[in-house]
Amino acid sequence: MTIVYSIIIFCILIFVHELGHFAVAKATGIKVKEFALGMGPAIFKKTKGETLYSLRIFPIGGFCAMEGEDEESEDDRAFNNKPFRVKAPVLVAGSAMNLLLTILILSMVVFSYGLPSTTLEQISPESPAASAGLQPGDRLVAINELEIKDWEQVSAAVATSEGNPIPVEVIREGSPVTVTLTPVEEEGRLIIGISPEFHKKPIKSIQYGFQATWQMGAMMLDVIGQLFTGDVSAKELMGPIGIVGAVGDSAEHGFVYVAQLTALISLNLAIVNMLPFPALDGGRLLLLVIRKVTGKAISDEVEGKIHLVGFALLMGLMIYVTYQDVLRLF
């Protein structure tokens, strides 16, 4: 199942990424020669219109081959003959699709669990809440005179007691009820022994999906920065073998963990692809800006050679991280 999950994840992420390039290219009138999922020899081909659609034997990549992408072309619909305002969105579209996929997956994960409400579902036996008479169905209004609007405020409000008796206000069957209880310490934090009801809220789940994506993205950018400063070693990077291992570990804990890992990899793909390095979408975008400023100082042929060198360097990096993955296995 680890192999199956890994193949599915790779295919979905790459398909979504290349679909972004493909959709924007088609929408802007750029000629797309081939849209492929996978690498290596084709096991399925079908031509529709001017585009060849193919499924290839190795599920480790994919591509959207546009006319004039890495070479000069006289075709008016070639990528190289389109203006900056057309080419830039095509380059950004792949990472944008991976970003949207990350938000969608995380939103669905949050929705599947539900969001904690301020209504109590369980009262732990022999807990301060049980001793004070709190009941399932009570809706929290305030703890220690601090208004409770969402569950995230509960722990902070209980912590303000510093172990002293505090008032807890709830609404029970439409009527206000106030009890006094003394929090107890458990695993280094103060608790009162209550658990919330979880409600499935689509809009709120999407908001949490955006927030989680933002937080994950900030952490990834921080790690990338540490790679350049030397605070994080390149030996800690993970390649395909390492990702397969991570998928296997996640699968042992359930599908939701696999979904969360998929979101993490998708966001990583979006961010890394926009780095200003040749052969990556970010590098292509940077050269696009440079060519916009300098005019014809860089030809399509020269740009193609720059990306070829960048691709070779990326392949060297891939071999290195794969070697590190193998070392970690043993």
Q: In this structure, are residues 143 and 156 in contact, taking their beta carbons and an 8 Å threshold?
A: no
How buried is 49 (Cβ within 10 angstroms: 0-12 exposed, 13-18 middle, 19+ buried)?
A: exposed
Give dist(CA 148, CA 142) in Å, integer.
Answer: 5
18 is catalytic: yes
User: If you ran DSSP here, which 8-state letter would residue 127 be given?
Assistant: S
Q: Token pair 């499935």 is at which residue?
A: 200
Q: Which residues partner with 66 through β-bridges?
A: 32
Q: Output the 3-class SS for 191-218.
A: ECCEEEEEECCHHHHHHHHHHHHHHHHH
Report the SS3 class of residue 144.
Answer: coil
Q: Alpha carbon of 65 to those of 36, 71, 89, 308: distances in Å?
A: 8, 12, 16, 15
Task: Please pick, among 18, 67, 69, 169, the residue that the annotation labels catalytic.
Answer: 18
Query: In whole angstroms, what is the distance from residue 256 CA to residue 106 CA?
Result: 10
| Residues tagged active-site | 18
